[in-house]
Amino acid sequence: MNLSNILNTLDTSSERHLDELCQWLKIPSVSSDSMHRSDVADAAKWVAEKLKKAGMATEILPTDGHPLVIAETPAVPGAPVALVYGHYDVQPAEPLADWISGAFEPTIRDGNLYARGATDDKGQVLTHIQSVCDWLATGEPLPLQIKFLIEGEEEVGSENLERLLPGLSDRLACDCVVISDSSQYAKDKPAITYGLRGIATYELEIRGPSQDLHSGSFGGAVMNPAIALCHLLSSIVDSKGRIQIEGYYDDVQELSAAERTAWSNLAHSDEAFAKEIGVDALFGEEGFTTNERRWGRPTFDINGLTSGHQGEGVKTIIPAFASAKISFRLVPNQDPKKLTKALQAHIDKHLPTGVKVTLSPDHGAAGMAADPQSRYAEAASRAIESAFGTPPVLIREGGSIPIVSRFQDVLQCDCLLLGWGLSDDKPHSPNEKFCVQDYHRGIKASAMLWAELGSLRKGV
């Protein structure tokens, strides 16, 4: 294998790499919006075409929702198998007026490529696709088998993939899953992420009178559903951020002293962090640092609230209903199904009289913990150091990739999270971006990763 030959090819192809990413980003593959159904399908076709043209056995697999794209290179006996997972679906681009350039008109400013999906996840997953396609184009055989699973429903909970995964376990069998869908610790501080939080999301609806009522004629004589919702929500968390659901902390894996020390050695400024997100002061569970709160502690959030009059001016009513979209971030070892039971019991206990409540679970996924010292992590560390000129630090992150813990359970594989993003990339927000240099370095690190992983022997 001639790695420098491959690295040269990557260097001379950088313009095409960028151009192809822009093509993919122009397709508005918003998975949550049925208006974008055919765009989502087009984004799947675009990537399937790219993998197929490089000579890989490729299939677009329909699901009850958006399709999966599966591809693979030829088997290499004796070498481990890597499975690259990523997603081609994106979050909605709204509020559109806040974008400096169009969300689906990829634009470069100051060394960054701006578009919805630039960092989450098209730009990141494409680094691995580019490295493999270009490697195959040199005519050199890859030193290991690489499989791809690119899905279109990560941003809506990956439920169809979760259902299909057991049936695909032979096809997707691998030693190690490689995912680039997270971030570096800071600019020029690449990271290997060995843990993610899980998630459980719900919709809570409170119904009172059969229709809105005049608050003068009826106020004081019936329970107001919006007030009932406020009471109920505030019973879930205290003013210091401690969750009040019975048993919520029972299964929480405490942070080890070694882990806390390692994190405290990462450069971090609360002041700069607060400034970056535009708040005067940070807030969180007592006794924990900001990184501990973000990466290693469970949380409760209200993501949306609806009730009563939203239009101009005053309307004196008792609304007929009130609803909230809520979510919990979970740490490894907490079970989202167990939480649903505990939350229902909490609601039954705290619900004010005179209203009806329905709790509808949306999606749930467990957190993920990987071994930061595995031989795959060590191989990745060497590859990242070669491409970025500095070794990666070990971190956890607070976001969730719903399917990763299922990969560990069903495929019995290791998991490598190699994020090429930056903390100010603004995924899910207006003006999402991906640093162009990191895109190119990610492609290089990916090629070097195949060389490193290919030199390991299977199962040893």
Could you write out the DSSP letters of every residue in 205-220?
EEE-SSS-EEHHHHBT
* Shortest Cβ 179–Mn ion spacing (Å): 9
* Shortest Cβ 429–Mn ion spacing (Å): 11
**DSSP label at 78?**
T
* Shortest Cβ 408–ligand BES spacing (Å): 16
Which one, 112 or 386, has the nearer CB to Mn ion?
112
Give the helix ranges, DSSP H, for 119-253: 122-137, 159-164, 215-218, 225-236
* Shortest Cβ 182–Mn ion spacing (Å): 8
Tokens of 14: 């950088």
Which one, 162 or 212, has the nearer CB to ligand BES?
162
* Region from 178-186, 200-208, 292-300, 362-370 binding Mn ion, contact rule CB under 5 A: 178-186
Positive or negative torsion for Cα 135, 137, 138, 139: positive
* Shortest Cβ 155–Mn ion spacing (Å): 5
- 432 near Mn ion (CB under 5 A): no
Which one, 332 or 454, has the nearer CB to ligand BES?
332
Closest residue to ligand BES: CB criterion: 399
Which one, 70 or 366, has the nearer CB to ligand BES?
366
Could you write out the DSSP letters of every residue in 235-302?
HHB-TTS-B-STTTTTTPPPPPHHHHHHHHTS---HHHHHHHHT-SS----TT--HHHHHHTS-EEEE
Q: Binds 134, which of ligand BES, Mn ion, none (CB < 5 to 8 A, cut-off by type)?
A: none
Which one, 120 or 397, has the nearer CB to Mn ion?
120
User: Which residues, other chains included, contact 449 with Cβ-Cβ below 8 Å and sequence gap of 6+?
Assistant: 178, 379, 380, 383, 418
Q: List the interface residues with Mn ion, window 89-148 (CB under 5 A).
A: 120-121
Cβ contact 66:56 at 8 Å: no
Tokens of 273: 């962090």
* Region from 173-181, 226-234, 353-361, 429-437 binding Mn ion, contact rule CB under 5 A: 173-181
Q: Binds 363, which of ligand BES, Mn ion, none (CB < 5 to 8 A, cut-off by type)?
A: ligand BES
β-strand partners of 403 = none
List the one residue from 89, 181, 259, 452 that touches Mn ion (CB under 5 A): 181
Half-sphere exposure of 199 (CA within 13 A, CB side): 22
Displacement of CA 327 from its chain's centroid (Å): 15
Which one, 37 or 426, has the nearer CB to ligand BES?
426
Residue 132: which of 54, 47, 80 has the closest Cα? Answer: 54
Which residue ranges make up the site for ligand BES (CB under 6 A)?
A: 120-121, 154-155, 157, 181-182, 199, 363, 397, 399-402
Q: Which residues bind Mn ion (CB under 5 A)?
A: 120-121, 181
